[in-house]
Structure 1
Amino acid sequence: MSVVALTDYDFPMKDVRENFPAPLLYIGWEDHLLFCAPFCLPLPPDTPFGALATAVLPGIYGYHPDFAQIDWSKAEWSKSGQPWQPDPAKSLAENGLQHKDVIRFRTPGLTGIQGSFS
């Protein structure tokens, strides 16, 4: 949607990288309606991507009954709406993730509490 400003619309952006303790990364779990939107997390760029599954995501998604059943080797990832295959051994930065990027993961066979998304 376009915006028509009545006066000059010139001001410094407040959501630039320098204003946060670490780059922000949005992470969403597809087909799980318990979570209405991706979580926004400040994560250091040197964080190994594989640490998301073991150290980061359990703290935000771990209470969902499907979480313990995830086979991370089969997770399907997307970045900014496009299929994407991250390397778990590389850092977030080495996987090309930058401030305010959006990634999502789908877990085949898991579609919400008692299949509520299917």
Structure 2
Amino acid sequence: MVRDLEENFHGNRLLFVNWEHHLMFCAPMALPLPPAMPFGALVNEVLPSLYGSHPDFAKIDWSTVQWKHGRENFTPDLGKSLDENGLTHKSVLRFTTPGLTGLSGSGA
């Protein structure tokens, strides 16, 4: 029996999110999120609750963030839903913050 099928998440999809070069968070976060959630809500509401404790988080210039969906470069539309942005069940989303490379540049 496969337990991580989309239908087992009560209308949500798993989305794996990783902040590159910030290994204080050593692995992608697995988030059960509704497909209709706007990408902007992920950025403005969800990510601060996950990564807000890191000193670099408050310094992020979101207009310069580089995103990857899987291994491909990705430009999200903040006003569109996760689904409309092409994020499916168990998608991997990574973001890099130019100029911010962890605690004292350590990658942590």
Counterpart residue type for residue 94 of structure 2: R
Given candidates 43, 60, 73, the residue that maps to 1:53 is 43
Alignment-derived partner of residue 92 in structure 1:
82
Segments of structure 2 that go 5 or more residues without pairing to the other structure are none
Aligned length: 107
Asked if residue 66 in structure 1 is aligned to residue 66 in structure 2, the reply is: no
Alignment-derived partner of residue 3 in structure 2:
14
Write out the 4+ residue segments of structure 1 that deviate beyond 3 Å after TM superposition. none
TM-score, normalised with respect to structure 1: 0.87
Alignment-derived partner of residue 19 in structure 2:
29
The alpha carbon displacement at 1:48 in A equals 0.5
Q: Distance in 2 between matches of 1:32 and 1:110?
A: 9
The alpha carbon displacement at 1:20 in A equals 1.0
Larger Rg over CA atoms? 1
Say what the alpha-carbon RMSD is for the aligned residues.
1.2
